[in-house]
Chain A
């Protein structure tokens, strides 16, 4: 066997491996959609059937009706997404600018603190945060879920700072000579250049809010105030048995927008995640 054929065989094996892996990674999605289109009895047949005997599209409207406040939850979730995305993008960009485009004494030491706060898991600060919001009467409202996003979260500051550092110093200098104030440089020069990075931050924040579970679980109390993620859970625990077909239909409806968002902004996603990998 020549080394070329050996290489070819190697490549083929590799492909095979990747294809099998890909099927394994896609299978749960297929299973979710397949279950969502079955009548309840058919979800309980063994061995499982991938393509339902009769495709029940009506599971979707029924699942939505079962959740009762589906549209309300969607509106709540979108509202929170809008507020947190706005807040995060604005505040993180401002803070990141201060950590990258201005030279000040002790800046890099303070930045270590930013990195350190990324190490605090949420459960550790959960109780005091809850008590704080309770004290100012915000529990039961959406505020604890979006107001903090206006206070630049460490992770996003880190991300944007990395990006801002890649922009040449000269552009700031030129603007300074033109008599621009620091704020003008930030707003008119740097921000427009940072659009791709801002989009990344916006996407991440959107995902984080769309997916958030523990926040709404702790702070929201009225049934119609919940978010989609929380609604899905509450819906599962209702009554005795689980209607897997409805649950999977509702899950599909919640996953779909995120997947759609990914496909229209794939480039930003991949690049954004790549820069989070602890480089620099």
Chain B
């Protein structure tokens, strides 16, 4: 190593030291300590007691843990495609350079500024089975349907019905899609004009252009947003927590992985157990990200690579 290289290394490390400290304290240490605590019985109030692999053994047969995972995946499986689809559709429409584009963009973006807690209380009110706006909108439709089909159909009682509670949450989440719209719009700007022109020459219509030009080019952006959505769904906590007043929703339909960790930590005082859940969760996310990367590598078009 030359003197310059050594100097640069020293300077580089010096500059990144805030991040390095942060990395050690907020990522490395927690993961290692989680691993350690996951082999103990720990209540925060008293010292941890070593219990071997008990926590993991219990986890394997803990239906609530599996239910919380199932809820998390179910939510992710519905909300991620819907959000991506809506965001992409809006971005493509807004990108057609219609007059007033800026105003539309602002309108679609605004809801994503709303703090989670406000979003939660607002949608709790919107989704109220009897007095909520959503059902006020749906009721005329279901009334007509009931009359035509001669069966009684009524709008769902969103947050009270286990079959609909998660969908209600998805709906509330879709309101905050604006962030992704802006990201997709930026991605669309990067699609070379020339490709569209070439497609036009080949007589492609709008759908064909979208399918064969736009989507392949912005696939890295879709991938990125998909992964972020996946990680995001493992963080889902504040909205269901507020909507259910710290509960688990009807028939535990809103018990998510993060909720379960929180409850085990701060309600049942089983911190060791909570750590075991955290670690399993971490491994799942790691595995999913790796699989997603492997699978999509073949289909993703990276510019200039």
Please report A residues at the B interface, Cβ cutoff 8 Å: 11, 14-15, 17-18, 21-22, 25-29, 31-32, 35, 43-44, 46-48, 91-92, 94-95, 97-99, 102-105, 107, 110, 113-114, 117, 119-132, 134, 148, 150-154, 157, 182, 186, 207, 210-211, 213-214, 218, 229-230, 232-233, 236-237, 244, 247-248, 251, 254-255, 258-259, 262, 266, 269-270, 273-279
Contacts and interface: CB of A to CB of B under 8 A. Distances in A.
A124 B122 contact: no
A123 B117 contact: no
Which 6 pairs of residues, A with B, have the shortest CB-CB distance?
Answer: A278-B224, A98-B15, A151-B22, A274-B186, A104-B12, A277-B183
B12 A121 contact: no
A254 B98 contact: no
A251 B258 CA distance: 24
Nearest to B218: A277
Contacts of B3: none
16 contacts: A14-B96, A26-B110, A28-B133, A31-B126, A47-B136, A48-B133, A104-B11, A119-B289, A124-B281, A124-B282, A126-B265, A214-B262, A232-B118, A233-B120, A233-B241, A276-B183
Given A18-B93, A102-B15, A213-B238, A277 B115 contact: no
Interface in B94-149: 94, 96, 98, 104-111, 113-118, 120-123, 125-126, 130-131, 133, 136, 139
A118 to B, nearest CB: 8
Interface stretch (B30-38, B160-168, B191-199, B207-215): B30-38
Given A132-B33, A151-B22, 7 more contacts: A31-B122, A31-B125, A43-B131, A105-B8, A117-B23, A213-B237, A259-B110
Nearest to B237: A214
A216 to B, nearest CB: 10
- For chain B, which range describes its interface: under 10, 10 to 19, 20 to 34, or 35 or more residues? 35 or more
B106 A266 contact: yes
Nearest to B257: A123
A101 to B, nearest CB: 8
A130 B278 CA distance: 13
Contacts of A11: 98
Contacts of B241: 213, 233
